[in-house]
């Protein structure tokens, strides 16, 4: 027995962690943990300002660190694609750094929305545990308190989003998926107004999210059974070496694909998206619609380009089908919507379909155009949801489209900015949406997917109809007598709307710098 212990003990080496390469994620998680301490020890009056400084500072610092890693010659010196860090758990390469930088900027703008407190105390419940309509809830509302836990929860979610596309093995990816999802489930249920809808959204998101992560995990188990490892490169090697049981491999790809496509909200896994986007507090919807989508696409790209890169011909037909039903389903159902947040949710489903056409190309052009589209769409969608928070009636936000009638006559600026975001979603030239759509469709044609591009063009034409209808409603119809008011936003929402609008216009008129950055990020694909 002693000989056995003696023989085994020395072979456990100390893990080597590259703290410098992981510093953006470590900073965000560190700020999140510090936020929990602020919540516990700071006096209530000071909490919000402490949290704001910590959250915005943490995200900005992580962005600076991301740039520092991107220009680090020890990572990319000698034409290297990147480096594997943390004992093979994390891949640090150019596409990942582009995605992480995008997530950090978009999260920063979303936190500006979360911090808005001028129309009411905040967008979040005074006490989420208090039953709606109870005396306890009224006490909290009268006292003017709000949940400041939203800031650390947001940081934990953003930390998970940073790790999700960077994970080089499927176990890390699963843990990151849960770290990003669990805080979002809670954030969805914290709305100050319409709490029944908010709680229902949280329950639906949670049950469906847990269901889909079970599928993701079973896919991981199948791939582990196939290759004996959860490392993406090892799975790719086993797949191209044609060793192991092919049934396990294909079952694994399918189940893993279900888990990832659920997070993206592709048809037929889109059922949660409209309900959750409508019910969640609008700043949280903005966070989900931008950052979660970017992170989920980052993970999908890494898995399908690295682990299944040799099997393009096997997964492409299924992804074609998903992309087609996503583009058509999202745009057709968008026509029937009467709620502005649901309309934006279905539009987000259709946009996910357009980005999927870039993913399917499985080339550097496909990768770079997807990266550009994600960044451009993220800014526009945050801006659109920011405008939604401004149009209010006594019950909170006026989501129903009928109350948006004539908005352009009473507040031309707000309606004009919203119209700008809508035409960007529709892909009209001189906006970022046009450049993004052009780039992904061009990549898809380069990848031989002409029918997909035809369906994409038809879907864009269908999707333009609900957008134009909203614009016509805002500018060419009479406002109702008891219509909503457009509140004067504080500096937080104003800057979120301004950043969104500016990015949409600048990326539409001079897209060259960001396109080149995305192209440079994509030239060597992901590190293996």
* Minimum gap (Å) between residue 275 Cβ and another protein: 4
Q: Which stretch binds another protein (CB under 8 A): 10-18, 102-110, 202-210, 429-437?
A: 202-210
Sign of CA dihedral 527, 65, 31, 104: negative
- What are residue 146's phi and psi, to 5 degrees? -150, 165
* Interaction of residue 204 with another protein, rule CB under 8 A: yes
Tokens representing 203?
């329950």
Q: What is the DSSP string of 426-483?
A: HT-TTSHHHHHHHHHHHHHHHTT-HHHHHHHHHHHHHHHHHHHHHHHHHHHSPPPTTP
The angle formed by the CA atoms of residues 260, 262 and 265, to the nearest 5 degrees, is 115
Q: Report the residue from 34, 42, 56, 197 that binds another protein according to the rule CB under 8 A.
A: 197
Contact flag: residue 201 with another protein (CB under 8 A): yes
**One of 144, 228, 241, 268 touching another protein (CB under 8 A):** 228
Q: How far is the CB of 197 from another protein (least distance, A)?
A: 6
Closer to another protein by Cβ: residue 49 or 243: 243
Q: What angle do CA 461, 462, 466 make, to 5 degrees?
A: 110
Size of the site for another protein (CB under 8 A): 43
The contact mask relative to another protein for 237-276 (x = CB under 8 A, - = no) is -------------------------------------xx-
242 Ramachandran zone, left/alpha/beta (phi>0; psi -120 to 50): left
Q: Under a CB-based contact definition with an 8 Å cutoff, are residues 105 and 63 in contact?
A: yes
- Name the β-bridge partners of 92: 83
Regarding 182 and contact with another protein (CB under 8 A), the answer is: yes
Specify which residues 191 forms β-bridges with: 124
End-to-end CA distance of the chain: 40
Binds another protein by CB under 8 A, chosen from 26, 36, 221, 485: 221
Q: Tokens for 335?
A: 């026509």
**Helix/strand/coil (H/E/C) assignment for every residue in 53-81:** HHHHHHHHHHHHHHHHHHCCHHHHHHHCC
Closest CA to 99 of 368, 356, 366: 368
User: To the nearest whole angstrom, how small is the minimum distance from the Cβ of residue 210 to another protein?
Assistant: 5
Q: Which stretch binds another protein (CB under 8 A): 7-15, 73-81, 336-344, 456-464?
A: 336-344
Q: Is 343 among the residues that bind another protein (CB under 8 A)?
A: no
3-state secondary structure of 169: strand
**Quick one: 168 or 278, whose CB is closer to another protein?**
278
Segment contacting another protein (CB under 8 A): 47-55, 101-109, 200-208, 490-498? Answer: 200-208
Q: Does 220 bind another protein (CB under 8 A)?
A: yes
User: Between 252 and 500, whose beta carbon lies closer to another protein?
Assistant: 252
Count of helix runs (H) and strand runs (E) in the chain: 23, 5
Site pattern 112..141 for another protein (x: CB under 8 A): ----------------xx-xx---------
Site string for another protein, 273-312 (x = CB under 8 A): -xx--xx---------------------------------
List residues near another protein by CB under 8 A: 128-129, 131-132, 171, 174-175, 178, 182, 185-186, 189, 195-197, 199-204, 206-207, 210-211, 214, 217-218, 220-222, 224-225, 228-230, 274-275, 278-279, 336-337, 342
């Amino acid at each position: 027995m002693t000989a056995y212990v003696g023989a085994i003990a020395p072979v456990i080496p100390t893990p080597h962690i590259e703290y410098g390469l992981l510093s953006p994620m470590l900073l965000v998680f560190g700020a999140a943990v510090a936020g929990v301490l602020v919540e516990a020890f700071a006096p209530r009056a000071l909490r919000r300002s402490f949290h704001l400084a910590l959250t915005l500072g943490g995200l900005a610092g992580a962005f600076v660190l991301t740039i520092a890693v991107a220009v680090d010659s020890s990572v990319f010196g000698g034409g290297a694609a990147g480096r594997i860090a943390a004992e093979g758990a994390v891949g640090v390469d150019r596409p990942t750094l582009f995605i992480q930088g995008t997530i950090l900027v978009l999260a920063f703008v979303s936190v500006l929305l979360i911090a808005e407190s001028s129309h009411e105390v905040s967008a979040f419940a005074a006490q989420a545990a208090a039953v709606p309509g109870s005396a306890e809830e009224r006490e909290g509302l009268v006292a003017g308190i709000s949940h400041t836990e939203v800031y650390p929860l947001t940081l934990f979610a953003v930390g998970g989003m940073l790790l999700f596309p960077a994970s080089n093995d499927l176990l890390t990816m699963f843990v990151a998926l849960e770290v990003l999802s669990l805080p979002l489930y809670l954030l969805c249920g914290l709305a100050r107004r319409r709490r029944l809808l908010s709680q229902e959204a949280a329950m639906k998101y949670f049950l469906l999210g847990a269901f889909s992560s079970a599928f993701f995990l079973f896919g991981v188990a199948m791939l582990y059974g196939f290759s004996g490892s959860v490392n993406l490169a090892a799975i790719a090697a086993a797949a191209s070496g044609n060793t192991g049981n092919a049934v396990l491999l294909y079952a694994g790809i399918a189940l893993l694909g279900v888990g990832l496509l659920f997070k993206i909200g592709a048809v037929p896994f889109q059922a949660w998206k409209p309900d959750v986007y409508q019910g969640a507090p609008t700043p949280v919807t903005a966070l989900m619609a931008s950052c979660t989508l970017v992170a989920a696409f980052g993970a999908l790209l890494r898995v399908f380009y690295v682990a299944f890169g040799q099997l393009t011909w096997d997964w492409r037909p299924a992804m074609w089908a998903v992309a087609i039903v996503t583009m058509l389903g999202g745009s057709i159902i968008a026509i029937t919507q009467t709620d502005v947040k649901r309309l934006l949710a279905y539009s987000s489903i259709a946009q996910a379909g357009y980005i999927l056409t870039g993913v399917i190309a499985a080339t550097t052009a496909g990768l770079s155009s997807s990266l550009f589209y994600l960044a451009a769409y993220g800014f526009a969608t945050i801006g659109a949801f920011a405008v939604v928070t401004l149009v209010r009636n006594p019950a909170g936000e006026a989501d129903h489209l009928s109350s948006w009638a004539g908005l352009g006559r009473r507040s031309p600026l707000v309606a004009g900015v919203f119209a700008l975001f809508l035409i960007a979603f529709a892909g009209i030239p001189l906006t970022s949406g046009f450049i993004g759509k052009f780039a992904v469709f061009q990549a898809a044609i380069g990848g031989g997917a002409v029918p997909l591009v035809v369906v994409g063009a038809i879907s864009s034409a269908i999707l333009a109809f609900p957008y134009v209808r909203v614009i016509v409603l805002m500018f060419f119809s009479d406002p109702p007598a008891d219509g909503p008011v457009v509140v004067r936003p504080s500096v937080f929402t104003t800057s979120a709307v301004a950043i969104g609008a500016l990015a949409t216009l600048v990326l539409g008129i001079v897209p060259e710098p960001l396109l080149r950055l995305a192209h440079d990020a994509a030239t060597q694909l992901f590190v293996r």
